[in-house]
Amino acid sequence: QVQLVESGGGVVEAGGSLRLSCAASGRTFSGDAMGWFRQAPGKEREAVAVNGWSGSTYYADSVKGRFTVSRDNAKTTVYLQMNSLKPEDTAVYYCAAGGSAVAVRRGLGNYWGQGTQVTVAS
């Protein structure tokens, strides 16, 4: 059974940093994309950052220059380093994996985690 488990969420003051991790079990994703989405209250889920199997990356305009997505060499864990956090970054962050970078970015990843709450206090 494939599982994605996120960790690293929490409460941070504006301007602070957090690092999210998403650990996969049951398979590796060396030939697939892995990425991060978020959903704020009353808003639709949006793609935040995606890491393709070749190392290509996608970032939402709202996080460019502040967030960095990366993966470990074993391709089982994807990270999201979030710096200069803003109150508008407050959301539940979800990990997604499986498929092409385009598919994951469009929300069509085969696997999803349960989410981790990130709250940025002003």
DSSP state of 87: G
**Cα distance between the two ends of the chain:** 40
Give residue-wise pLDDT tens across range 51-100.
999 889 999 999 999 999 999 877 799 999 999 999 999 999 999 999 99
Q: What backbone phi and psi angles, to 5 degrees, belong to 64?
A: -60, 135
8-18: buried (b, 16+ CB within 10 Å) or exposed (e) per residue?
bbeebeeeeeb
Q: Check residue 109 and give its pLDDT.
A: 94
Average the pLDDT over each of 1-10, 72-81, 86-95, 112-121 and give the range with the smallest value.
72-81
Contacts of 58 (CB under 8 A, 6+ apart): 35, 47, 49, 50, 52, 101, 105
Q: For the chain, what percentages of helix, strand and coil (3-state, to nearest 5) are there?
A: 10, 50, 45
Give residue-wise pLDDT tens across range 12-53.
999 999 999 999 999 989 999 999 999 999 999 999 999 999
Q: Check residue 24 and give its pLDDT.
A: 96
